[in-house]
Amino acid sequence: MTSGARVRRTALAVGTALLLPLGVAQAAPAGDTTGARGIGDPYYPDYGNGGYDVDHYGIHITYKPKTDHLAGRTKITAHATQDLTRFDLDFVLPVSSVKVNGERATYTQGKHELVVTPRQALATGEEMTVDVAYAGKPSTVRSDGVRPWIRTDDGAAAVGEPEIAAWWYPANDHPRDKATYDVSVTVAKSLEVLGNGVLVSHDARNARRTWHWREAKPMAAYLAFFVAGQFDIERSRVDGLPVITAVASHGGREGRYAARDLRRTPSVLRFEAQQYGAYPFDAMGGVAPAADFGFALENQTRPVYTRGFWSTGSNIYVVVHENAHQWYGDSVSVHSWRDIWLNEGFASFTEWLWSEKHGEGTAKQLFRQYWRAYGRGNDMWKVKIGNPGAHNEFHYAVYDRGAMTLQALRTRIGNADFMAVMRDWAAQHQYGNGSIPEYIALAESVSGEDLGSFFDAWLYSDRRPAPTEANGFPPGFRSRVAATERSAVPASWSKIQHTHAVLARVEGR
């Protein structure tokens, strides 16, 4: 994502983080048949749920932009991970009926939780289907202090992080519970709908058209999206994969720049695949709706961008950033929201690699520039990016200090070991989850070095790291910085700064 803020380090036990199953919440106490109302995230206790694991979402939506009225029916295919007499879903719109395995279930609704009591108890390992019918106006609903639904000039964008799923479909809303998706959205025939993965069909009937999108790889709930409106859509195939990009019609100058940069998505992904391993999904593209909502999001296979990224001209760096998330954030998702550096720091550092590759400034030069620009008293050093705190995950420090951390690690352990760590992380956790302690353990294993004090300085200290070789600074760093105080700033610096400034507008909400 491009925005910012949240995290803190606890004595959490590295061992505890490694022992917890990554797809589900902690096991329920013996004899407890009530699914937990949260999956166990330390920042957001009510996010996600316990007692079951979702395999597939079948979502059917009818949406009317003029009234912001959304009517839906979602069929969830899951399996129980414990005996269940009751379980929760994360959902905020008014519900009209719930069925479990074809039988009507009773339910209650709170501000964020839909609590379901099936007619027949569910046994551990039993497959379950949950059908939920609902309707409402998403833009009018506020929960946990947020209202993420985005209305555009001609439609809507169901896009947000960490909250959005509950505003348009009931879900086990946490990155630990990934599933596959079929999403069908019916709108007026004059509108288009973009979503994740492969376009299965877009059939018209009378005055309406239904767009059916399918994502066949496991996906976190917040990464599922749809955007409805009037778009200029471009389709092609690259390396055997479908490429669909869409820019809001009548987008003006910003729209022209956006369309030009989004066409470069396949070349961006090829570059990133050279760094991190094969692209992990079956489609690619990007969407720029008719709104300036202040951020971009790495929606799986097809990021969504506010058009403000192109307010000053071309901006390939935001395309690089969001597509790097296809590896770090989408394929490998956080175990808990405090692990957000594994997403944002990694995507920001990829911008540095792009700059290096394209002659706009090396990662070493960018590292020096950031060091010069963010002095000892700067707020960036006060945020412990390894644990920034709830509602602070997208602070600019997670992006900028996060990228500096990776360049420092690259210097400390050498480029070959560093790139091996990055590729191994993407491969070992593909379609799953990972935590910062696990990443640290991998870096130490590959490099053969004890990196505890290094990561303490960069991730968990509220002070500027000392410019030592142990902390990943090149020999003679101080004198080099002094000698280059008046040297030319890397050409990519202002472009990356603009990108991150737009991104941080939302995260600091």
Instruction: Please name the residue ranges forming H helices in 316-360.
Output: 316-324, 341-357
> Could you report the per-residue pLDDT of 216-242, keeping only the tens digit for each?
999 999 999 999 999 999 999 999 999
Nearest C-alpha neighbor of 154 from the set 193, 207, 206, 197: 193
% of the chain at pLDDT higher than 90: 83
How far is residue 290's CA from residue 227's CA, in Å, rounded to a whole number?
A: 10
**482 pLDDT exceeds 70?**
no
Lowest mean per-residue pLDDT among 28-42, 57-71, 270-284: 28-42
> Could you report the per-residue pLDDT of 360-373, keeping only the tens digit for each?
999 999 999 999 99
Specify whether the CB–CB gap between 321 and 375 falls below 8 A.
Answer: no
Tokens for 46?
């009510």
CB atoms near residue 72 (< 10 Å) = 20
State whether CATH 1.10.390.10 applies to domain 1-20+292-509.
yes
CA 93 to chain centre: 23
Task: Check residue 250 and give its pLDDT.
Answer: 87
Q: Average pLDDT of 45-57?
A: 96
Coil vs helix vs strand at 194: strand
Sheet holding 208-219, edge to edge: 103-104, 95-100, 127-136, 69-80, 52-64, 179-188, 208-219, 198-205
Q: What is the CA radius of gyration of the chain?
A: 23
Percentages (nearest 5) of helix, strand, coil residues in the chain: 30, 30, 40
How far is residue 312's CA from residue 303's CA, in Å, rounded to a whole number?
A: 20
CA dihedral 390, 394, 397, 398 (to 10 degrees): 90
**pLDDT interval class at 506 (50, 70, 90):** very low
Specify whether the CB–CB gap between 165 and 297 falls below 8 A.
Answer: no
How far is residue 114's CA from residue 108's CA, in Å, rounded to a whole number?
A: 6
Task: Check residue 480 and give its pLDDT.
Answer: 60
Lowest mean per-residue pLDDT among 124-128, 142-146, 206-210: 142-146
Nearest C-alpha neighbor of 344 from the set 494, 499, 464, 455: 499
Q: Which residues contact 7 (CB under 8 A, 6 or more apart)?
A: 338, 340, 341, 383, 384, 385, 386, 387, 388, 389, 392, 393, 398
How far is residue 331's CA from residue 303's CA, in Å, rounded to a whole number?
A: 14
Pairing relation of β-strands 150-151 and 296-297? Answer: unpaired
How far is residue 431's CA from residue 228's CA, in Å, rounded to a whole number?
A: 28
Residue 12 vs residue 271, higher pLDDT: 271
The CATH H-level superfamily of 32-223 is: tricorn interacting facor f3 domain (2.60.40.1730)
**19 pLDDT exceeds 60?**
no
Specify whether the CB–CB gap between 351 and 403 falls below 8 A.
Answer: yes
Predicted TM-score (pTM) of this structure = 0.92
Coil vs helix vs strand at 337: helix
Task: Check residue 251 and give its pLDDT.
Answer: 81
Specify whether the CB–CB gap between 385 and 344 falls below 8 A.
Answer: no
- Beta-strand runs (E) in 137-251: 150-151, 156-157, 179-188, 192-195, 198-205, 208-219, 226-229, 231-238, 241-248
The single-letter DSSP state of residue 306 is -
Task: Check residue 493 and give its pLDDT.
Answer: 77
Residue 288 burial (10 A CB sphere; 0-12, 13-18, 19+): buried
Kindly report the average pLDDT of the chain as a whole number.
Answer: 91
Any idea where the domains of the chain sit in the sequence?
1-20+292-509, 32-223
**pLDDT interval class at 30 (50, 70, 90):** low
Q: Which residues contact 88 (CB under 8 A, 6 or more apart)?
A: 35, 36, 37, 49, 113, 114, 115, 116
